[in-house]
Structure 1
């Protein structure tokens, strides 16, 4: 039997340990820790998934010839407003002129996403690449936030991770469960919404407006929270194409 592997970051975390444990239930699948960010040459052909920090997953995927599924860099700003329920734009950091807005890096987490009165208030602003793209959105108040692992436009597992601004890790949807199901079904089945075969989608309930899309994240570097690790593993493998 030809054993396949999930390549894990050398940084041990609760999430990577859960992925590792999930492989124990598979006869022909195991995990391997890449202590020096290198997969042994003879095993590279047997790597079918990677999990860890953004830079690690990109590096190891390149070694092993994997294509990592993700949304396009401009994706969030193209989503129909009926799902965003707030204004979201994408522009270069040097061109940002709005005040009291939520600002988030489009690509790697070069700075902490958050509400900023001005762009200059970003920690370490003077050392940032001003040509990098960021998302700017109007400030809203989230009642709760839910992470979903999505494969082929279907939620495979989900977990609440924030409620009233505090961590709330539970499989239970604490607000308008029927509305959540109706909203996510409409979003995932809308032909105008372009998604890869496997992706993490975060949804939230905006006070006064209802359920809305927060953002999309790559499966191979997203936290699991209370999601089912076995389901996460299945979606993770689909997100890493040979």
Structure 2
């Protein structure tokens, strides 16, 4: 029986995944602490769902390989899909900003992702290392934003999650949003991170995405644009079909021995957890 282990402080998506997983016959369990329960540590095959902290704690103990998009993936997209300037740089460089910009950590929520008037408001070297990667983006207003759960280059589930920057969840995803999503995935279908073809979706520069991932897109005053990509094992499902979300999550954080050659470059490095 496969195991799906969820992080403590389970959210609404986690509750839906528990139901879907148990309906399929998986052993779905919510951890009560930020560690793998001793009675579950030896169970295989295993999968996980939770944030980066939980992935760092649980992945090695469960033999799970969590997949995540490259930190600089946005910067590799064609300009007509991105709709703005985005730079992947270090926190030390971002602190030197003298203009307003949207700044965020690529994956881990190390500090708030938001518009900063300049770099002086970013965490100092006493809080985060100078070489911490960050994304610096031109400021753009999204009138609508949509979440796409992608498996092997195809959208398996989609949901609107915001209108004018405010939470506005809806299962309704119009044909124009789906058409843009298809354009994004078609443009990313040139190969994996190692230049090979297969389940990963890549871009012309050779930087790709894992075969199971979340991609967010949005509408602006000038048209459609990619918002960001996120690990499926740490992303909310909003109004997406939970069974389809589960399909993507199981692949995005599954047994290391089942990794494909295309997905292998996207495994999250196991971080040292300080207690």
Q: Partner of 1:127: helix, strand, or coil?
A: coil
Structure 2: runs of 5+ lacking an equivalent:
191-201, 256-275
Residue by residue, what CA displacement relative to the aligned partner does 1:28-77 show, whole Å, maximum 9, x if unpaired? x1211222312436653424310112110222111111111111122121
Q: Does 1:189 align with 2:186?
A: yes
Indicate the residue corresponding to 1:9 in structure 2.
7
Indicate the residue corresponding to 2:83 in structure 1.
85
Indicate the residue corresponding to 1:199 in structure 2.
213
Paired with 2:37 and 2:232, the residues of 1 have a C-alpha distance of 20
More displaced stretch, 126-135 vs 55-64: 126-135
Relative distance call for 1:211 and 1:164 in structure 2 (3 A) is same
Paired with 1:134 and 1:196, the residues of 2 have a C-alpha distance of 20
Q: Partner of 1:148: helix, strand, or coil?
A: strand
Relative distance call for 1:160 and 1:42 in structure 2 (3 A) is closer
Q: CA RMSD in A?
A: 1.8
Shift in Å, 1:240: 2.0
Indicate the residue corresponding to 2:261 in structure 1.
none
Relative distance call for 1:139 and 1:42 in structure 2 (3 A) is closer
Pairing partner for 2:226 from 213, 221, 230: 213
Shift in Å, 1:5: 1.1
Q: How many residues align?
A: 235
Paired with 2:19 and 2:73, the residues of 1 have a C-alpha distance of 33
Paired with 1:217 and 1:107, the residues of 2 have a C-alpha distance of 7
Structure 1: runs of 5+ lacking an equivalent:
none
Paired with 1:213 and 1:144, the residues of 2 have a C-alpha distance of 12
Paired with 2:84 and 2:138, the residues of 1 have a C-alpha distance of 6
Paired with 1:118 and 1:229, the residues of 2 have a C-alpha distance of 40
Q: 1:171–1:227: 8 Å Cα contact kept in structure 2? A: yes
Paired with 2:237 and 2:125, the residues of 1 have a C-alpha distance of 31
Relative distance call for 1:206 and 1:42 in structure 2 (3 A) is closer
Residue by residue, what CA displacement relative to the aligned partner does 1:140-180 show, whole Å, maximum 9, x if unpaired? 1110100110000111111111002221111113xxx3322
Equivalences for residues 124-163 of structure 1 within 5 A: 127-163=127-163
Indicate the residue corresponding to 2:260 in structure 1.
none
* TM-score of the pair, normalised by structure 2: 0.80
Indicate the residue corresponding to 1:227 in structure 2.
240
Indicate the residue corresponding to 1:69 in structure 2.
67
